[in-house]
């Protein structure tokens, strides 16, 4: 153990004894989770980032949900049927379900919530996905029907399991005003208590929950942005559960009987997005050259080995729709090829080894979070260092998460270390978001009608073989355009106190209902 960490551990332990810890020792019936960042807002139609989605999923529910095997199963809907023409999906809803404010759940709530997403005045980032819906009808109080513009093979996953499909209380929306975004009222197993920004979110067990009751009385989510701080909090009893740690700490804690390390392959993809609206990245040959200039398998193995696997597309390797190796465009490490492409694009040697063209240097800033993703800052720094070999000057700009998101979403960046995560390998959840012209995660600001067409057809094709062919085409076209430098497919990791019992670690969901403390 490093001397600095040892001293911090001793100090925190003393503070715990004296009752002066930043986070007092948790109560027996209180599970404390170290969240990856602070939450933002809880209006379902605006939730985009994982830390907020994690908390929202405890308070809100959807018509359907994914189980630990990734299968879509009933939740607020008891069941559903599809019309012979595959355009109308009819859901039978649970009766007797109450929101946390005492209001009733029924089909009118579902209709209202989905119409909000579709309302252009709301400007929801999910509107494009939900626009597959042509008509919403309510045959009776506990039946809701969605008629689609055309058949959609992925409707359950493409629409009904998104954040925007969380169902909030209409009464809360009408009475809370602006507070609606900060005090979520749902039907879930946990109900809202408090959010102290930058410190904690507190939820308590819902005594009127329609399903199996949680074993814990309270959940506390503490934003812990620094993985080292999270480890210290876990070791000193400030939290029971963390999601990030250094590779060194994961190995060390895995050998300590006081803790348990949970690790499973998941659908977390990491990549560098190059903003094609910036002149330096508007040139395809520059984007291709930078892809060739990076030996990503070596970089990932050196900095994230055992925590992630290197990838060469932005579709997770676990997806059943990932095309076979050798059937799509890739950019193997080749410095000579990278330099040749830059030369073809008109870049010439300049001062200090940095290439220039028309008086402009090949220079850009790579935005990076610090600890949001595994080894993000370290990988970003290595990437910039390696790109100097081909004459590109890259500077890493490390930012705190909220500011990072704001700059990326507003397009005020050159390149950025980004991630995208879903609960299944359904390809539309990744490619429609990242590669479609109107995709909600199209931060590269790119557009290719051929990609849009392939992805549109992929949604309406019910033949698995046809869908696989279309998504393979889309993956190849995305790679040909080289808007992204694929980095890795991260594992989902959790480290828990040995007191935590009943926890099931899976890629599709994080569920604290069966958890108890011994």
CATH number assigned to the domain comprising residue 92 = 3.90.76.10
Q: How confident is the model at residue 430 (pLDDT cuts 50, 70, 90)?
A: very high
| 52, part of any domain | no
Asked if residue 106 has pLDDT above 90, the reply is yes
Asked if residue 306 has pLDDT above 50, the reply is yes
pLDDT at 515: 98
Claim to verify: residue 160 and residue 194 sit in the same structural domain: no
Domain end call among 122, 152, 172 = 172
Claim to verify: residue 77 and residue 157 sit in the same structural domain: yes
Claim to verify: residue 372 and residue 469 sit in the same structural domain: yes
Q: With beta carbons less than 8 A apart as the criterion, state whether 485 and 271 touch.
A: yes
Claim to verify: residue 404 and residue 472 sit in the same structural domain: yes
Claim to verify: residue 441 and residue 323 sit in the same structural domain: yes
**Residue 237: φ, ψ to 5°:** 90, 5
Domain end call among 119, 148, 172 = 172
Claim to verify: residue 455 and residue 507 sit in the same structural domain: no
Chain segment 138-186, per-residue pLDDT in tens: 999 999 999 999 999 999 988 989 999 999 999 999 999 999 999 999 9
Claim to verify: residue 471 and residue 370 sit in the same structural domain: yes
| 7, part of any domain | no
Q: Alpha-carbon dihedral of residues 411, 417, 422, 425, nearest 10 degrees?
A: 110
Compute the average pLDDT of residues 181-201: 97
Claim to verify: residue 126 and residue 146 sit in the same structural domain: yes
Chain segment 256-297, per-residue pLDDT in tens: 999 999 999 889 999 999 999 999 999 999 999 999 999 999
pLDDT at 160: 87
Compute the average pLDDT of residues 289-313: 95
If you write DSSP's letter for every residue of 274-303 in order, what string do you get? E-TTSGGGS-HHHHHHHHHT--HHHHHHHH
Q: How confident is the model at residue 22 (pLDDT cuts 50, 70, 90)?
A: very low
pLDDT at 216: 97
- Residue 72, beta-bridge partner list: 66
| 51, part of any domain | no
pLDDT at 402: 87
Domain CATH for 212: 3.40.190.10
| 8, part of any domain | no
| 280, part of any domain | yes
Which residues have a Cβ under 8 Å from the Cβ of 325 and sit 6 or more positions away?
none
Claim to verify: residue 443 and residue 366 sit in the same structural domain: yes
**Residue 320: φ, ψ to 5°:** -65, -10
| 54, part of any domain | no
Claim to verify: residue 310 and residue 459 sit in the same structural domain: yes
| 3, part of any domain | no
Range of the domain at 339: 266-491
Instruction: Look at the chain and report how many structural domains it folds into.
Output: 3
- Residue 148, beta-bridge partner list: 133
Claim to verify: residue 210 and residue 152 sit in the same structural domain: no
Q: For residue 273, how far is the Cα from the chain centroid?
A: 15
| 53, part of any domain | no
Domain CATH for 348: 3.10.105.10
Claim to verify: residue 253 and residue 138 sit in the same structural domain: no
pLDDT at 28: 54
Domain end call among 150, 172, 194 = 172
Please tell me the pTM assigned to this model: 0.78
Compute the average pLDDT of residues 14-29: 46
pLDDT at 6: 42
Q: How confident is the model at residue 305 (pLDDT cuts 50, 70, 90)?
A: confident
């Amino acid at each position: 153990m490093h001397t600095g960490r040892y001293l911090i551990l001793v100090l925190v332990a003393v503070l715990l004894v004296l009752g002066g810890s930043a986070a007092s020792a948790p109560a027996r019936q209180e599970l404390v989770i170290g969240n990856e960042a602070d939450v933002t807002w809880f209006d379902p139609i605006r939730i985009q980032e994982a830390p907020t989605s994690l908390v929202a999923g405890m308070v809100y529910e959807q018509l359907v949900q994914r189980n630990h095997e990734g299968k879509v199963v009933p939740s607020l809907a008891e069941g559903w049927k599809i019309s012979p023409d595959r355009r109308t999906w009819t859901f039978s809803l649970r009766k007797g379900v109450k929101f946390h404010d005492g209001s009733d759940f029924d089909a009118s709530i579902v209709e209202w919530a989905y119409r909000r997403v579709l309302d252009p005045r709301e400007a929801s980032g999910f509107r494009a996905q939900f626009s597959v819906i042509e008509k919403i009808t309510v045959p009776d109080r506990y039946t809701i029907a969605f008629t689609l513009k055309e058949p959609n093979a992925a409707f359950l996953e493409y629409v009904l399991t998104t954040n925007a499909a969380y169902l909030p209380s209409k009464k809360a929306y009408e009475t809370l005003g602006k507070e609606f975004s900060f005090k979520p009222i749902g039907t879930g197993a946990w109900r809202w208590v408090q959010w102290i920004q930058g410190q904690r979110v507190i939820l308590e067990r819902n005594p009127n929950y329609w399903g199996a009751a949680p074993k814990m009385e309270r959940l506390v989510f503490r934003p812990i942005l620094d993985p080292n701080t999270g480890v210290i909090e876990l070791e000193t009893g400030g939290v029971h559960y963390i999601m990030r740690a250094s590779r060194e700490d994961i190995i060390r804690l895995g050998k300590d009987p006081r803790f348990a390390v949970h690790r499973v392959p998941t659908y977390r993809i990491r990549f560098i997005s190059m903003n094609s609206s910036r002149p330096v990245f508007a040139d395809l040959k520059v984007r291709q050259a930078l892809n060739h200039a990076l030996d990503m398998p070596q970089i990932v193995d050196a900095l994230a080995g055992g925590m992630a696997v290197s990838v060469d597309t932005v579709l997770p390797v676990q997806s059943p729709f990932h095309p076979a190796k050798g059937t799509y465009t890739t950019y193997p490490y080749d410095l000579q090829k990278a330099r040749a492409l830059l030369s073809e694009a008109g870049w010439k040697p300049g001062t200090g080894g940095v290439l220039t063209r028309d008086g402009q240097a090949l220079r850009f800033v790579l935005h990076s979070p610090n600890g949001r993703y595994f080894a993000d800052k370290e990988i970003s720094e290595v990437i910039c260092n390696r790109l100097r070999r081909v004459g590109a000057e890259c500077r890493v700009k490390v930012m705190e998460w909220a500011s990072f998101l704001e700059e990326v979403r507003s397009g005020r960046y050159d390149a950025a270390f980004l991630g995208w995560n879903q609960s299944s390998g359904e390809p539309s959840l990744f490619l429609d978001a990242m590669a479609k012209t109107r995709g909600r995660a199209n931060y590269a600001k790119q557009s290719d009608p051929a990609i849009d067409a392939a992805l549109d057809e992929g949604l309406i094709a019910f033949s698995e073989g046809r869908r696989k062919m279309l998504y393979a085409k889309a993956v190849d076209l995305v790679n040909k355009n080289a808007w992204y430098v694929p980095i890795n497919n991260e594992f989902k990791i959790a480290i828990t106190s040995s007191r935590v019992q009943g926890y099931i670690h899976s890629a599709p969901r994080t569920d604290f209902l069966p958890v108890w403390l011994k």
